[in-house]
Amino acid sequence: MSRSRAALSCDRVNKAHGHNAAPSLCHRNTMSLAARFFRWHRWVGYLIALQVLAWVLGGLLFAWMPFQAWVKGDDALAKPRQPLPIDWPRALANLPTERGPVLAVQSVATASGPALKLSYEHGEQWLLAAGGEQPMPDAEAIGRYARSLYRGEGALVAVHRLAQAPRRLGIVREIGDRNDVWQARFADRLGTRLYFDVRSGELLTLRNDAWVIYDFFWRLHVMDYEGGEDFNNTLLRIASLAALALVLTGLTLTALALRRTWRRRRQR
């Protein structure tokens, strides 16, 4: 008798042998199928357990951590806004022409005061809004500007020029691939750090310990440990298929267990 025919005749075999009969062929086949799925479920679980744990922990963190107040640091920073001066064309009146035409003009708040950022096809130029070339800020100017932007309760404890921001928790890069920046660090509960452009003194971004933890779990979540932005990487695709296999084998085991329970109740 084939396995399919044996499975279809399970009820007939049980009725023919009575309630006290030995286990039927169908029952043995069901147990064999359950054992096979259990082995698959166990081995897939071994392979994907840590990643599933990272997904769950990350999901809890994303749901419960205040994003705007903590991660983005909105409560600790007054974001600078600098409207374009009415007389801005006057600052461009005597520009040299060897750079080519100006493609864009942007008004930017910097550590040296209001400035104009001029974009060319090859590079950029910084001018003071009042006129003249913008000087590069020093640590003292960065410190004053950082204190004017900060709205938290901590004191400014250090201003450093960093050739490269160090990685945190092994995989987190606070300012991506950017190098040579000013860092102003404040002594508050989240360890707020403000980053500024070395050339202009423009605020680049705010980072803190909450952002580092969030970004760490985000990189684990998408399994992109370098850029943290690739949703279609090979590791994530393999892990997602393995997680699907884990769920499907688990559902199959649940269905087989319910089937056995139902049959035992019918035999009583």
Domain boundary among 158, 177, 207: 207
Statement to judge: residues 237 and 127 lie in one domain: no
Q: What whole-number distance in Å separates Cα of residue 179 and Cα of residue 126?
A: 19
Statement to judge: residues 83 and 135 lie in one domain: yes
Whether residue 120 lies inside any domain: the answer is: yes
Q: Which domain holds residue 97?
A: 74-207
Q: Supply the pLDDT for residue 89.
A: 79
Cα distances (Å, whole numbers) of residue 114 to 35, 103, 111, 204: 72, 20, 8, 15
Statement to judge: residues 102 and 166 lie in one domain: yes
From the number of C-beta atoms within 10 Å of its C-beta (0-12, 13-18, 19+), residue 97 rates as exposed
Work out how many domains the chain is built from and give that number. 2
Q: Over its length of 268 residues, how does the chain's per-residue pLDDT go in tens digits?
A: 444 444 444 555 444 444 444 445 455 555 677 777 778 778 888 888 999 999 999 999 999 999 999 999 999 999 998 888 887 777 777 777 677 888 898 999 999 999 999 898 888 889 888 778 889 999 999 999 999 999 999 999 999 999 988 899 999 999 998 999 999 999 999 999 999 999 999 999 999 999 999 999 999 999 999 888 888 999 999 999 988 988 888 888 888 888 878 877 787 7
Statement to judge: residues 82 and 189 lie in one domain: yes
Read off the pTM.
0.79
Q: Supply the pLDDT for residue 174.
A: 94
Q: What whole-number distance in Å separates Cα of residue 73 and Cα of residue 171?
A: 21
Whether residue 154 lies inside any domain: the answer is: yes
Statement to judge: residues 174 and 240 lie in one domain: no
Q: Encoding tokens for residue 132?
A: 């003249």
Whether residue 112 lies inside any domain: the answer is: yes
User: Could you identify the residue written with the tokens 């951590």?
Assistant: 65
Instruction: Give the CA-trace dihedral at 143, 144, 146, 152, to 10 degrees.
Output: 110
Q: Enter the DSSP assignment of 154.
A: S
Question: Is residue 169 within 8 Å of residue 189, measured between CB atoms?
Answer: no
Statement to judge: residues 42 and 106 lie in one domain: no
Whether residue 219 lies inside any domain: the answer is: no
